[in-house]
A = this chain, B = another copy of it.
Amino acid sequence: MARITAGVATSHVPAIGAAMDLVKTAEPYWQPVFAGYDWSRRWIAQEKPDVVILVYNDHASAFDMKIIPTFAIGCGERYKPADEGWGPRPVPDVEGHADLAWHIAQSLILDEFDMTIINEMDVDHGLTVPMSLMFGQPEQWPSKVIPLAVNVVTYPPPSGNRCWLLGEAIARAVESFPEDLNVQVWGTGGMSHQLQGPRAGLINKEWDNRFLNLMSDDDGEALRAISHIEYLRETGSEGIEMVMWLIMRGALGKKVRPLHRHYHVLASNTAVGHLVLEPVS
């Protein structure tokens, strides 16, 4: 039986990927960003998850304005890094886990989630930067990945509550997969940042840290109730990405144990947040 063994939350700032690709991680600006992932890299080297369900958003890479899926699950065999305007990132292709992905997709649809199934797409920094942060720069990614792309670009994105419920449904789906697999769920994006308009550059440490507290706590109710307008006002226009963390949190169940926490202002325009959580049954 497949098991969800841990949840990871992390920012997915493109500049973090560029810093790694261009070997700048030891520079004073970048060093404290990456220092917070040292523990996590050691941890995940021991954990060796077979599959990561990687919740992220596409940043106008795989999906243009022709088609905007709210929840899209990648059921393909492999995904190439997208060319976001400066050529694809020099990282390995991402290997899918089509058996588990299709199982989850089918289960979610029966569970009344209106999933869009994707068989071919390129994956952008939203997916590859978390991989680089957690796994470093291997020749080949050590885990298979099920991409779960959430629309947080065109309004409205799904509610925080809906994201949480999707996480719960993913947990039920994983549990009913017969093969013995160590599965992690990652929620990516955030934390506070605004990439547009005169208010660009907004950072809200207090709010972000309250959110990290709530994520590490056993009471999800307060998280589920955060409205889109609150994310927008308090965390900048791109802080809305944090709804994706709730999919991961919902998948872990009621009680969690925080294993690791990292918060750093900032990378590029963004407050970097990172959590490793364990479900407590």
Contact = CB atoms under 8 A, between A and B. Distances in A.
Interface in A100-147: 106, 109-110, 112-121
Nearest to A112: B162
A106 B66 contact: no
A109 B70 contact: yes
Interface stretch (A25-33, A36-44, A153-161, A185-193): A153-161
B116 A116 contact: yes
Chain B CB within 10 A, most for which of A69, A117, A165: A69
Contacts of A106: 155-156
Contact of A68 (B116, B121, B159): B116
A222 interface: no
A118 B67 contact: yes
A116 B154 CA distance: 11
A71 interface: yes
Interface string A65-102: 11111111000000000000000000000000000000
Copies of chain A in the complex: 2
Contact of A158 (B68, B109, B119, B158): B109
Chain B CB within 10 A, most for which of A114, A116, A118, A154: A114
Q: Categorize the interface residue count of chain A.
A: 20 to 34
A71 B158 contact: no
Contacts of A68: 116-119
A100 to B, nearest CB: 17
B159 A110 contact: yes
B117 A154 contact: yes
A161 B112 CA distance: 9
A116 B68 CA distance: 5
Chain B CB within 10 A, most for which of A67, A106, A121: A67
Contacts of A113: 114
A70 B119 contact: no
Nearest to A155: B106
Contacts of A69: 67, 69, 114, 116
Contacts of A159: 110, 112
B70 A114 contact: yes
Closest CB pairs A-B (n = 9): A114-B114, A68-B117, A70-B114, A69-B116, A112-B162, A66-B120, A71-B114, A109-B156, A116-B116
20 contacts: A66-B118, A66-B119, A66-B121, A67-B69, A67-B117, A67-B118, A68-B116, A68-B118, A69-B114, A69-B116, A70-B115, A71-B114, A106-B155, A109-B156, A109-B158, A110-B159, A112-B165, A113-B114, A114-B162, A117-B154
